[in-house]
Structure 1
Amino acid sequence: MDPWKEFLLKYYMPEKCYDEFFHNFNFLHVPCQTIVLSKILGIWIMLGTVVVKLPQIYKVFKAKSAMGLSFTSTLLELFAITGSMVFCISHNFPIGAWGETLFIVIQTLTIGFLIQHFGGNTIKGVGFIIGYCSLLSLLLSPLTPRSVVTSMQSSNMFAVIMGQLVQAVTNYLNGHTGQLSAVSVFLLFFGSLARIFTSAQQETGDSLMTLTCIIASCCNAIIAGQVLCYWNRGPSVKEKVE
C-alpha cells in the first residue's frame, strides 16, 4: 500500500472517504468532510492538552503564589476528569476518546500540589498526590465494580458545573482572577468546544459524554468572561501582604 494512503487511512479517514476524495475527486462529500474534520480536531485536542495547563503552572511558579486559585475547584475538576478517564478505559474506548485526559490529570494534580505548597502546606500537598494515585489504582483495578465507575461518570456533569462555579465565585468575591492563567483558560474553553464536535461525531457514541462537554464549555465560557472583565484588576495591597 502507498505510504501516504496508509497514513491517511490510519489517522484521518476510512477507505470509502479516501476513494471519494482521491478517486472520485468529490471533495465536497459532507459525511467524509465531517469524519476528517473530527479526526483532525481530535488530534489537535490531544496535542493542545499536553500544554493546556502548563501556562497556569508556569504562572504560579513564577509568582510563587497560587492566589485566586480554588483548591476545591481543582478537586472537583480532578474528580470529573478522573471519572471520564476511568469510564473510557473500563469500556475499552479508543485512546482518541480519552487520551488527552491523562495529561490534564497530571497537570491538574500538579496545580493542586502547588496550591498547597505555596499556601504553606507542602506535606498536605504530598499527601494529596499519594492519596490520588492510590485511589486511581483502585478504580482501575478489578476490585472496583463497574457500577462505581459508571456512577462517577454520571456525576461528572455536577462536578464540572460545581468546580467551575466555585472558581467563578472565588473570582467574583476576590474582584480579580489572581494567578489564573488567561492562556490556560482560553485553551480549555476552545478545547472543550472542539471536544463537543468530536464526541458527537465519532469515537464513543455516548450522549452523556457529549452533554458533559457542552456543560463544560458553558462553564469555561463563564471563567473566560471573568478573565476579560477583570483583565486589569489585581489583588489589593492588603491581599498581597496577607
Structure 2
Amino acid sequence: MPFADVAAAWLGYAVIAGACVVKLPQIYLMVKNRSAEGLSETSAALDAIAASSFSYYNLLKGFPISGWGEQGIVAVQATVVLLLIWVYREGIRLKRRFCALVAWLAMSMLLLKEGHKEDYKYILVILGTSPTFMTAVSRIPQIFLNWQNGRTGQLSAITFFLQFLGSVVRFLTTLQIMGKDVLSLVSHATGAIFNLIVVLQIYSHSTPSDGRAARPCKAVAIAMATDKEV
C-alpha cells in the first residue's frame, strides 16, 4: 500500500479519536454551569442531523470508516448537546421535541435498512448533499446569535477549534481515501469555514472591548439567531 494511503488512513483514525472528545468541553461547560446560555437550539439540532446524514451517506456508499467515522461520534455528542439545551432552557415544550426525535430515529433505521436499494438512490444523493447545506445553516443562527448578544455565553472555544481542525484534516484525507468524492470535500470545506468563524467570534468576545452594548440586529438576524418557542 502506498505511503500516502497509509498516512491518510492513520490521519483518519486520529480524527476519529479526536472526535471522541470534540464536544465534551461544550458538554462539560453546560453541565457545570447548568446553563445553555449562548447556544442556539436550531444550530445544535441541525448539527446533529447533518452529522447523522453524512454518516448514513458514507455507510451506504461503502466508504471505509477511516474516512468518515468521526461523524457518527459527533452525531451522538451533538444530540447530547441538544438534549442539554432542552433541559436547561426554560419554556421548552419537551413533548413536541421528543416526538420529533423519535421520528428522526425511526426514519434513520429505515434508511440504514433500505437505503442500499435502487429505489432509494435519490435519497442517497440527498444524504450526500444535505450535510453541506445543514452545516452552513446550523452555524449561521449561532453566528448571528453571538453577534446579537455581543458575547458567546457557554460556547467552548476548544470544541469549535477541534471541529475546525478536524474538518481541515478530513478534507485532506478525503482526497486520498475516498477517491476525491466531491460531496464529501464540499461538506468538509464548508464545515471548516463556518467553524473557524465561530472560533474567531469566541476569541474576539472573550474580553469586552469597551463595555458598549451589543449592536442591534436586523429583524431577519433576530429571527434566525433566537430560538423562540413555537
Question: By the TM > 0.5 criterion, same fold?
Answer: yes
2:114 alignment partner AA: P
Offset at residue 42 of structure 1 (A): 0.8
Please show how residues 122-201 of structure 1 align to structure 2 within 5 Å: 122-123=94-95, 126-142=98-114, 145-201=120-176
TM-score (normalised: structure 2): 0.82
Partner amino acid, structure 2, of 1:142: E
Query: Partner residue of 1:10?
Result: none
Secondary structure of the structure 1 residue equivalent to 2:84: helix
Point out 4+ residue stretches in structure 1 off by more than 6 angstroms.
none
Counterpart CA distance in 2 for 1:152 and 1:68 is: 29
8 Å Cα contact 2:9/2:67 also seen in 1: no
Query: Deviation of residue 128 (structure 1)?
Result: 4.8
For the pair shown, which has the larger CA radius of gyration, 1 or 2?
1
Aligned position for 2:26: 56
Residues 110 and 204 of structure 1: CA distance in aligned 2, closer, same or farther (over 3 Å): farther
* Contact 2:48–2:76 (Cα < 8 Å) also in 1: no
Tell me which residue corresponds to 1:112.
Answer: 82
Q: Report the residue type matching 1:132 in the other structure.
A: W
**In the alignment, what sits opposite 2:72?**
102
Does the Cα contact within 8 Å between 2:49 and 2:75 map onto a contact in 1?
A: no
| Identity within the alignment, % | 29
Cα displacement (A) at 1:76: 1.7
Kindly provide the CA deviation profile for residues 207-238 of structure 1, in whole angstroms up to 9, marking residues without a partner as x: 2201211111111110010011011259x9xx
Q: 2:35 aligns with which of 65, 68, 75?
A: 65
C-alpha spacing 1:204/1:112, structure 2 compared with 1 (3 Å): farther
- Structure 2: distance between partners of 1:86 and 1:146: 13
TM-score (norm. length: structure 1): 0.78
SS in 2 for 1:68: coil
Instruction: Give per-residue Cα distances to partners, 1:79-107, cap 9 Å, x unaligned.
Output: 22122111111111111122111111110
> Which residue identity is paired with 1:193?
V
CA distance in 2, matches of 1:129, 1:151: 20
- Residue 216 of structure 2 aligns with which residue? none
- The alignment covers a number of residue pairs equal to 205
Separation in 2, partners of 1:204, 1:116: 40
Q: Aligned equivalents of 2:161 and 2:45: distance in 1? A: 20
2:177 to 202, 213, 218: 202
Classify 1:109/1:204 alpha carbon distance in 2 versus 1 (closer, same or farther; 3 Å): farther
Unaligned stretches of 5+ residues in structure 1: 1-13, 18-31, 237-242
**Structure with greater contact order relative to length (CA < 8 Å, sep ≥ 6):** 2
3-state SS of 1:155 partner: helix
In structure 2, the CA distance between the partners of 1:35 and 1:93, relative to structure 1 (3 Å rule), is closer
1:145 CA drift (Å): 1.6
| Greater CA drift, 41-50 or 118-127 | 118-127
Task: Quote the offset at 1:183 in angstroms.
Answer: 1.0
Alignment partner, residue 228 of structure 2: none
